[in-house]
Amino acid sequence: MLLAFELSGEHETLPAGEILACMRSLDIEHTVVKSEGQCLILKIGDETPAISTLPALLSARLAMTHHIIAVIFECRLSESSILGSVIDAEIAISRGETFSVRARKIQQSPITTERMERLIGEVIFERNRVNGARVNLTSPDHRFRAILTDDSCIFGEVLASTERREFEERKPHKKAFFYPGAISPKVARAIVNLCEIRTGNRVLDPFCGTGGILVEAGMIGASVIGIDVQESMVRGARMNLGAHGFEYQLICGDACNLPLRDQSIDVVVTDPPYGRSAVVMAESIVSLYRYALFEMHRVIVDGGHAVVVSDFELPWTDEIGFTTIELHTQRVHRSLTRYILVLEK
C-alpha cells in the first residue's frame, strides 16, 4: 500500500523527519517512494500488522502533517491525464454514501484546483449515479484528495487528518502559566516524535521551563520528568501539566548536575536557554551546554536518543559519546538559526 502524507510546509525537513521517526518507533517497515516539498509517499507492506489503525495512530501523534492519504494513482500533471486516471480507477461508492473531492497545489502548476475538484467530482458522480452517490463537502463518507506538484498529481482517499485546532488551543499564551520563550506545541510535538518514543518510555526535559515539551510527550503516552533551575518555572510547569491528567514528575534542579541515576531515562528532549533572553544558570552558555550534555549522556540508556534545540551547532557531542543522527536547521530571522540535533547514545 502507498501512503501519501500531505505536509504542513512550515519547515523544510521536520515534517518528514517526524513521520519517519514515528514509523521506526512503531516498528512499521517502510520505503520512501517520494519526498518532495510538501508530500512524502511511503510504501508499506499490505501484511503490516495493525495497518487499518495506523493512519489514526499516526494522525494523533504527528504535528506537521495535514492529511494521510491512501494513494489510488499518481499521474502526469494534465487535465486529461488526471481525468483519464480517475475513470480507469473505477472509484466505487457504496449505495447512498457521500463523497467530496478537494485539490491542493503544493508547487507552481497551471491547473486550477476548483476546476479540477469539479471535474473529478463529476467523473466519480457519473460512475456511481445508479448507487445514489451524493456530494457532501462538510462531512462526507469518502474524502478524495488530489495533490498537485509541478509535474504530477497524487490522488487518493484521505484515511486520517490531524486536529490542527488542538495545537492552536495549547499555544503557550493560552496555557495556565505563560512565560516568554516557551516552545510552540507543534515544534515541541515534532521534536518529541523525532526521539522515536515508545509508550511508557521515560522522557526527561532538563530545561523544562513552562513544560511545553513535557505536555506533548505526556500526551503520546510517555512518562515525563521535568527539571528546571528556577522554582517559579517548576511551579508554572506543574500548573500546565496538571491540566492534562497524566502522571509527571517535576524537580527544581540543575541540568549540569542531574539528580537522576545513570541510565534511568529512555530519551531526552530539550530546548535549553539561548542566552539571549532566557535565564542561564551556569558560568557561560558554552559550559551550560557542555556539562548538560555530559549529564544527558550519563542518564540516558544505551541506544537512547536526545533531541536538543540550540542556536549553535554543538561541537562536542562526539567527544561526549553521542552520535549525531539527524540535524534540522531553521532560520528564524537574520541573526538566529535554530539547530535541532538528534543524538544517539
Ligand X SMILES: C[S@@+](CC[C@H](N)C(=O)[O-])C[C@H]1O[C@@H](n2cnc3c(N)ncnc32)[C@H](O)[C@@H]1O
- The CB-of-270 to ligand X minimum distance in angstroms stands at 7
Nearer to ligand X among residue 57 and residue 279 (C-beta): 279
- The CB-of-233 to ligand X minimum distance in angstroms stands at 4
- Contacts with ligand X by CB under 6 A lie at 181-183, 206-207, 209-210, 212-213, 227-230, 233, 254-256, 271-273, 278-282, 288
- The CB-of-217 to ligand X minimum distance in angstroms stands at 11
Nearer to ligand X among residue 73 and residue 179 (C-beta): 179
- The CB-of-177 to ligand X minimum distance in angstroms stands at 9
In angstroms, the Cα distances linking 104 to 66, 143, 258, 260, 298 are 12, 13, 48, 49, 47
Element containing residue 270 per DSSP (H, E): strand 265-270
Nearer to ligand X among residue 76 and residue 276 (C-beta): 276
- The CB-of-28 to ligand X minimum distance in angstroms stands at 29
- The CB-of-20 to ligand X minimum distance in angstroms stands at 24
Helix 14-25 to helix 185-194 angle, to the nearest 10 degrees? Answer: 50
Helix 212-219 to helix 231-242 angle, to the nearest 10 degrees? Answer: 30
- The CB-of-297 to ligand X minimum distance in angstroms stands at 16
Cell numbers placing 10:
512550515
The amino acid at residue 305 is: H
Strand pairing category for 223-228 and 248-252: parallel
Q: How far apart are alpha carbons 55 and 294 in whole angstroms?
A: 38
Nearer to ligand X among residue 55 and residue 206 (C-beta): 206
Q: How far apart are alpha carbons 36 and 18 in whole angstroms?
A: 15
Nearer to ligand X among residue 241 and residue 343 (C-beta): 241
Question: DSSP for 25-42?
Answer: HTT--EEEEEEETTEEEE
Cell numbers placing 339:
539547530
Nearer to ligand X among residue 142 and residue 175 (C-beta): 175
- The CB-of-313 to ligand X minimum distance in angstroms stands at 18
Nearer to ligand X among residue 77 and residue 252 (C-beta): 252
Nearer to ligand X among residue 154 and residue 258 (C-beta): 258
Q: How far apart are alpha carbons 77 and 110 in whole angstroms?
A: 9
Could you report how far apart the first and last alpha carbons of the chain are, in Å?
A: 34
Question: DSSP for 186-255?
Answer: HHHHHHHHHTT--TT-EEEETT-TTSHHHHHHHHTT-EEEEEES-HHHHHHHHHHHHTT-S-EEEEE--T
Query: What are the residues whose beta carbons fall under 8 Å from the beta carbon of 84, sequence distance 6 or more?
Result: 75
